[in-house]
Structures are given as C-alpha cells and as structure tokens.
Chains A and B, each alone.
Chain A
Amino acid sequence: MLETLKLTKRFHSRVAVNQLSLSIKPGEVFALLGPNGAGKTTTINLLLGFLTPDEGETRVNGASVTADPIAARRHIAYIPEQVMLYPRFTGVENLDYFSTLGGRRHTREELLQLLKKAGLPAEAADRRVGTYSKGMRQKVGIALALATEAKALLLDEPTSGLDPAASHEFSLLLRKLAGQGVAILMATHDLFRAREDATRIGILLDGKLAGDYATNDIKHVDLEKLYLKHLRA
C-alpha cells in the first residue's frame, strides 16, 4: 500500500534519506522512530510528493507519487504535527472545505457524524476553530482522514503536545482506522506511543533504516534499549 524503493533525497551535500526501502501493508501501523534530523519528515514529504526524490521511488496504492503526485495523494490522508485549519471557519466548515478540496462532498449530517467518530464534542462542531485546542484540531484532522476514505495515513508527530487523555483517544482512533484496513505511517519521538499503537517499528538514523521490528516481539523496556543502542552505535 505504502512503498518506498531505495529512496534517496539530498539537500546539497547532506543526505537526508539514504536508500530507504519500506513497505507498509493495509492494516499495518508503522512507527518511524528517530532523533531530530533523522529524515522522518523528509520521508513523509517524499510520500506526499512535496519533495522529489533524487533516487528511488515512492508508491501509494500502486500509484507512483513522482509520476502523478495529485493522483497518488487522493489515496492518502495526512495529519501533521500541528493540524492548521482556517480559524474563521467552524470545525464542520473546515472539514467540509478540505474534504471538498479532496474531491469528496458530504452532507452536513455526514460531516457531523465524522467529527463525532473522530471524538470531537458535538457542541464544538459549530464553533470557530480559532477557539479549539491542539487536540481538537487533531480530531478534525482525523475526521478529514475518515472523510477522504484514504487507503493510507501519514502522521507526523501526531501526539506531540497532546495531554495523556487526548493521546489515548488518538491511539484508539488510530487502531480503529488500522482495523478498517488503512496503512499507517507514523513519524514520532514517542517510544511509548510507538510501542502501544504500532504493529511495526523502524528506527531511522541519518536517513537510513537502522532497524525494523515487529512490536509483538519487543517490550517497552526493550524498545528503549534498542533505540538507545542504535543511537550510540
């Protein structure tokens, strides 16, 4: 579903992503762990078609992102670290706007239902987004992913800055989406969330995949040790 084949991206002399090959199947949650500057966000930008690879290829649902980024992005939902919405629109209006941009039209009832599924309180749906917390904006982002019926979901530090309760709610939603067959790539620093939510964990160092583990095979403590071992190596 989500594939990168020997993907390489350089910024001048610096190699941000180096021969990265990944394959995330439907229903899988792949957590990409790594320190700042490891190449996590660059990988997401390459999958979104916001960056063009110097070598290799990215594919979403079989469609080449490089050849036709617009067609490929129709299969993707993207939730950045900060879901930035139009503050003068309400939650439901933002959802309407962005899902219409993605070529999907929903009735107001459907939009309200999607926001409800994403966990946004009913009273907040018609409130201007300017009054929303970060967690509420993330929920609109999730609702957008639900609205677009994306086959793949890209998350860039999705739980950064969320309180534990909001993080937990977010994890539940993520698992629900995975259960519906969505392939999920989550770039994160959060080892706990990665171990809790992901089915696979990759450790990215200097743009290279230093390790790829099934979460069932490792415990929290082991993951931390593994991560630190890779960092020190």
Chain B
Amino acid sequence: MTSHLFRLELRLLARERAAWVLLGLFAAALAYGLWNGVRLAHRQSEAATALTQDAAQFQTQLREVLGKQSVDPKAIAGRGTTAVLPAAPLPLLATGQSDLSPSHETVVLWKLAAPADTRSELENPSHLMAGRFDLAFVLVWLFPLFLLALIYDLMAGDRESGTLRLALAQGIAPWGWMARRALARSLPMLTLAALATLTAGFFGGAGGAGPRLPLALTVVLTYGLFWVALALAANAIARTAAGAATALGAAWVLLVLVAPTLLNVTVETLYPTPSRPELVAAGRKASGDAEKRGGELLNSFYRDHPELAPPGQQADFAAQHLTVQSEVGRAVEPVRQKFDAQLARQQTAVGQWRFVSPAIAAHEALTDLAGTGYWRHRAFREQVGGLRQAVSAFFTPRIHKREPITSADLDKLPRFEFREEPAGTWMGRVLASLAGMLALAGVLGAWAWRSLRPARLGRLST
C-alpha cells in the first residue's frame, strides 16, 4: 500500500514540467561543480607530482655526487627541502582550503624567516564558508533551494485547491501521508545529490578514502533530510502555498546566507587576527634593524646568493645572514604566533557554533571528509614548521663550523613526510556535525508531527 502510494506520488511529480526543469538545472550545477573539482584537483596533483619528482631527482643526483666527494652545506641548503601535502582523500567533493592554503612548500635555509604561507590573509571564515563553485557549494548552498522548490507546497497547495479535504476524508493520518509525500517528492533530488557524491568519490580517489565516502553520503542525505523536515513543518502551519514558499525561502536565507555570515563576523570580532601588513611590517622592521648592524646592501645580495660571496668570506656572509635571520625570526614570532593562534580560535569557534546552521555543519563535515578542511591544512603548516626547525638544526651548525656534507650525512638530511590527523579526530568532528543535523531535523520533524496529529484536523482542513 505504502509503496503504491509512493509510486503514485512520483508519477504525479513526473507530470510537472517544472520538476523536470529543476532536476535538469540541479544535475547541471552538480556536473559543473564536479568539473571544477576535477580541474583543481588535476592542477594540484600535477604540481605535487612535479615537485616530488624534482625532489627525488635531486636526491639521486646528490647521492651520486656525495659518493664521489663532500659538498658545501650552503649549496644543499640553498636548494631547499620540499614538503608536499599528499592529495586529499576526496578532492572532488570540496575545494575547502586547498585553493587558499598552499599544498606544498620548499623550505630554504636562507628564507626561514619569511612567512610560510604568503596567502594566509585570505584564510578567514568567510572564505571557508563561501568557497568556489565546487560540489560542496552546490550541495550546501543550492541543493536546499532545488529541494525546497519541489516540496514547498506538500500540503498548502492541496489546502488551497481543495484536494486536502477529500484526502483527509479518506481516513488517513495526515503525518503519515505528508511524510510519505515529502520523501517521494524529494527522492529525485536526494538521488541526484547522492549520485554526485558517489561520483566525486569514485572518480576522485575513493579507493584510499576508507569510511570517508559512506560518511559523506550520510552527511549529504542527512542535510537533505533536515530541509525535508523543515518543509514538512512549514506546510503544517502555512495556510497557503505562497505562505509556505515565503517561510521556506526566508529560512534558506537565514540558515544558508545570514547565519554563516553572522558567525564569521562574530568570530572575527571575538578573535581578530593581526593584520597582514602588521606581520610584514614587523618582519621588515626586525630585518632592517638587524641588517643595519652589517653591510646592508652587500649582505642583502649575499643573503640570497651566499655561493657568490668571495672565497673565504662565504661562511662569514652565510653565518651573518643566519644570525640576522634568527634575530628576525625571534622578533616576528610573537606576531606570527598571535596570527596563527587567532586563526585557530576562529576556526574552533566556527566548529563549536556550527550547529546554529546545518549549512555550516554540513560544509565543515564535507571539507573534513574531503581532506581539504582547515585542520588538515593547519596540520600541514605545523609540520612544515617542524621541517623548518629540522633544516635549521641540520644546516646551521655545519655552516658555522664550515663542515662539509658527506655521504654519511645523506640519510640525516631533513625530509618531509606528512602525518595525517588521526582518523578518530576528524571522524569525531564529522559525527558531531551529523548528530547536530539529525537533532535539528528531529526537532522539526517532531514539530511537524505534532502539528499534523489527528486532533488538529480541523485547523488543517478548514
């Protein structure tokens, strides 16, 4: 009986031309989002492969050279050590931070005081939320709009046309009828969203994604369920289809546009980051002060090209530059730490308050699952920080002591290997987002159920 009614609801939906147009537009938006993801992932993968190959080639050459002779540490230190963030597990699902934060960095001894992330001023919650036209954008921002366009008049339209009285006179419980209708009408949109998520997984490297793909699917469907529950609740109280559409449109604006923006403004006000110019100015001032103590111009040139310093003076210039750099690093560190700590506080606050809007919770969960979220990129930056320390610790004493690198040092050379965040940590965040969305959907569902109970038939039908 239930499945037959479900099929009839689907047939009724299929007779609406507007439904086909909406489904076509949604499919096109999903395809465009996926295509954008493919392009970005391809570009990043190419860059990472080139860097990895280049680093491997250098290692081979270095091994050959060191097999024959020792090498001046300045020559190797000048070449730098490459750190590459491995490809995200589900890169097509969400761009997240991957177009804001670098996924690779070459750590050069002479430039350790330079800011690691030259684009970090873009890392604010507005960009975390806004992002580009990727699959997550379509699923978080547009999916509810398309879904609501199909289900906004679950019952209000029937009340207006008069079919509601005839239907209720058949002795059906309004809640059961509406819930079935809501699921039937939302099924095509939910299916498209699920298919796009699966496509992002299968064509974006889901092989190594473990539980990420099933969890992403659950997040997308739970997010859709929230909007279905909202439509049910709106239809239980709205007197007309126009009223239901207005209420749902307002809810979309509030939850998808206003709430994230308000949250971003709030966290930026509560935890303001020092401005980027302040960071740069602090670096310049410290650098200027330190360099004035040496021959400024010459030092500046030899700082970048210590191998060109006159024989005998090379070590002096290099040692001097390292001392200056260490001084600059010390001077800038408090500003940099404050900058970084505030960013982390902002993101923590966004995480804690993500339940004010399921859109924030869904977006945070999807970027976490994609492996393009804030915390994975932060882990990369922190580990690159560790690599900088390792590079400094390895080369600085050798340069001061004018100690050449030999084949015995080959295995001691600093290398970068990214340690992924423990699965339990990201999974905890994702499951909390899921639980939050389910709770919100449950509250709305309970409200709809209460409003559609048989005792309220009079209000529903008249």
Proximity string of chain B (163-204) to chain A, C-beta cutoff 8 Å, 1 when within and 0 when not: 101111111110001000000000000000000000000000
Residue interface mask A92-116, B partner, CB < 8 A = 1: 0100111111110100000000000
Q: Please, which residues of chain B bring their CB within 8 A of the CB of A78?
A: 165-166, 169
Least distance between A120 CB and chain B CB atoms (Å)? 16
Is the beta-carbon distance between B163 and A70 smaller than 8 angstroms? no
* Interface residues on chain A, number (Cβ under 8 Å): 37
Q: Please measure, in the bound complex, the distance between the C-alpha atom of A98 and the C-alpha atom of B5, giving whole angstroms.
A: 9
CB closest chain-A residue, reference B14:
A88
* Interface locus among A47-55, A199-207, A215-223: A47-55
Q: Which parts of B213-248 form the interface with A (CB within 8 Å)? A: none
Q: Is the CB of B172 within 8 A of A93?
A: no
Q: Judge whether B454 and A101 touch: CB under 8 Å.
A: no
Interface residue count on the B side (C-beta < 8 Å): 27
Given A70-B454, A105-B4, the answer on whether A84 and B162 have CB atoms closer than 8 Å is yes
Q: Which residue of B lies closest to A72 (CB)?
A: B171
Kindly identify which residue among B8, B161, B168, B170 contacts A84, using a CB–CB cutoff of 8 Å: B161
Contact residues of B: prevailing secondary structure: helix
A66 to chain B, nearest CB (A): 10
Partner of B170, one of A68, A93, A98, A105: A98
B11 beta carbon closer than 8 Å to chain A = yes
**Which single residue of chain A is at the shortest CB-CB distance from B163?**
A84
Q: Across the two chains, which residue of chain A brings its CB closest to B17?
A: A88
Of A50, A69, A76, A101, the most chain B CB neighbours within 10 A belong to A101
Q: What's the nearest-Cβ distance from chain A to residue B442, in Å?
A: 24
**CB-contact partner of A101 in B12, B170, B461, under 8 A:** B170
Query: In the complex, what's the smallest C-beta–C-beta distance from B247 to chain A, in angstroms?
Result: 24
Contact, CB under 8 Å: B163 / A93: no
Task: Chain B residues near A85: list those with CB within 8 A.
Answer: 163, 166
| A86 part of interface (Cβ distance < 8 Å) | yes
Interface residues in B426-462 by Cβ distance below 8 A to A read 454-455, 457-458, 461-462
Determine if B166 and A100 form an interchain contact, defined as CB atoms under 8 angstroms apart.
no
A82 to B16 CA separation, bound complex (whole angstroms): 23
Contact partners of A73 in chain B: CB under 8 A: 168-171
- The CA-CA distance from A88 to B12 in the complex, in Å, is 7
Are B170's CB and A50's CB within 8 A? no
Complex: chain A residue closest to B461, CB-CB: A50
Q: Mark A51-94, 1 if CB is under 8 A from B, else 0.
A: 11000000000000000111111101110101111101100010
Q: Which residues of B contact A148 (CB under 8 A)?
A: 170
| B449 → chain A closest CB, angstroms | 15
**In this assembly, does A45 line the interface, its C-beta being within 8 Å of a C-beta of chain B?**
yes
Contact of A103 among B168, B171, B458 (CB under 8 A): B171
Whether A49 lies near B457 (C-beta < 8 A) is yes
- Minimum CB–CB distance for A136 against chain B, Å: 15
CB distance from A150 to the nearest CB of B (A): 10
Q: Is B21 an interface residue (CB 8 A)?
A: no
B167 is contacted by which of A45, A72, A77, A98 (Cβ under 8 Å)?
A: A98
A3 to B171, CA, bound (A): 18
Query: 4 smallest A-B Cβ distances: which pairs?
Result: A84-B162, A102-B170, A73-B171, A88-B15
User: What are 5 A-B pairs at a CB distance below 8 A?
Assistant: A71-B171, A73-B169, A80-B162, A93-B8, A98-B167
Interface residues of B (CB under 8 A from A): 1, 4-5, 8, 11-12, 15-16, 161-163, 165-173, 177, 454-455, 457-458, 461-462
